[in-house]
Chain A
Amino acid sequence: MNPGTGLAALMDRYLDGDERAFVHLHAAVTPRLRGLLHQLIRDTATAEDLLQATLLKAHLARGGFEIRGDHADAAVQAWYATIARNLALDHLRGQVRDRKRRADPRDDSDPIAEIPADHPSIEEWQVDRETAEEIAGRVHAALAQLPAGQREIVELHKLAGLSMAEIAGRLQIREGAVRVRAHRAYKALARLLGPAALLLLIDLLRERGAA
């Protein structure tokens, strides 16, 4: 049975953890996203990779999703489309950089310095699956042990990329309170994961959360 009608209703239930709603939402948004990515990236295989990356990134950042305006269904489409477009643009920028480097091999500037720290290439997404699952498992377990309010702030800050002031505005609490909760959350995560693993988590979240 279809668990809901519009995209917004499906999104709402997906955000509550309903996997059936996600399956329907996935089926509804994927064709348009695929079309958009194929328009931007002419290579089918790369577009498919970017589509998968879009879905993963949206999943990691779903805590920050919020419907604004009257067109709830369109807001869901727009949210996914924005993530897909950003990933596609990052990929195209990377291609341009590569072409420039190949065109001028005598360029003695440091190629590593040209790699933007905040934007992962598509290759970076394709980490070894077992390692990714192990890290995701540890991170998931650690995040699950945080109080909901602290977890929400970590997700909004590191995944959605919001500033402390933006988070305070969204949650309608003082910025100082957001900072206190964030401090407590990272302290708790350091205790749960160990400092080295926390650094890894923050790097991982920054990479995956760059919008």
Chain B
Amino acid sequence: MSVDAGALIVGDLRALRRGRARHFAPALALTLLFVGGFLVLTGLRPDLWLQPGWQIAAQLAVWLLCLVALPAVGVGLWFPGRATRAALGVTAVVAALIGALGPGLMDMFAGAGPMGQGPQFDRCVASTIGAGLPLLALGVLSGAFAQRRRAGGGLWVSGGLALMALDAITWHCPSDDLGHNLFSHLGAASLLLLVAAGAGLLAHRRQRAG
């Protein structure tokens, strides 16, 4: 009787995915521990649950995306189709903007938002970068950036890291100043995204080359 090569290959690919999941679970647990520790040490914003419902919903969506969905795509645990990937990317950007800026976003569109602060290096920038760098180190050391054949897979992990740092600072800092949130929260997260993408690219090259 002939072997069923298709079934054997599917079994092999499933074993490969299970192996990746075994690496992903402890990394997720460490990340949760770190983010939880950050929020406990720095303190949650006092008005966290007083924010508009849609803003809280956007922030929770960002947590879900950055902790599970984006890293799962990045490390090859989930292979969504092109349309789903595009939807994930757009949802991540929109949810990040809504979650981080809240009502200030509406003021920005109306052209009447309070812009008390321009670009400057303050405590929130340091906290966002500070929260992101250990997570970036964890990603590099765990080999998260080298799981996919193409270096582009690391961008999903980088996006997850940047969103995590953004949501962490949003849950800590109670500012509703559009300028502060735009530059010190979103700006710092964007900078972290660039750094993580660069580090991820290097890690991919080095780790894939052995």
Contacts and interface: CB of A to CB of B under 8 A. Distances in A.
Interface of A: 1-4, 12-23, 26, 45, 48-49, 51-56, 59, 125-126, 129, 136, 140, 144, 147-150, 152-153, 171, 173, 181
Contacts of B150: 12, 16
A13 B81 CA distance: 10
Interface in B12-39: 12-17, 19-20
Interface of B: 2-6, 8-10, 12-17, 19-20, 76, 79, 81-82, 143, 146, 148-150, 153, 207-210
A152 B210 CA distance: 9
B209 A149 contact: yes
Given A22-B13, A54-B5, 20 more contacts: A4-B82, A13-B79, A17-B16, A17-B76, A18-B13, A19-B10, A23-B6, A26-B9, A48-B2, A55-B9, A56-B5, A59-B9, A129-B3, A144-B19, A147-B207, A148-B143, A148-B146, A149-B208, A149-B209, A152-B208
Nearest to B83: A1
Contacts of B210: 147-150, 152-153, 181
21 contacts: A4-B81, A13-B79, A16-B76, A16-B148, A17-B13, A17-B16, A17-B17, A18-B76, A19-B13, A19-B17, A22-B13, A49-B2, A51-B5, A52-B2, A55-B5, A56-B9, A126-B2, A129-B3, A148-B210, A153-B210, A181-B210
B10 A23 contact: yes
A120 to B, nearest CB: 14
Nearest to B14: A19
Given A52-B4, A152-B210, A22 B10 contact: yes
Contact of A171 (B2, B14, B15, B209): B209
B20 A17 contact: yes
Given A13-B79, A16-B153, A52 B17 contact: no
Nearest to B146: A148
B5 A59 contact: yes
A23 B16 CA distance: 16
Contacts of B12: 59, 136, 140
A139 B161 CA distance: 34
Contacts of A12: 149-150
A18 to B, nearest CB: 4
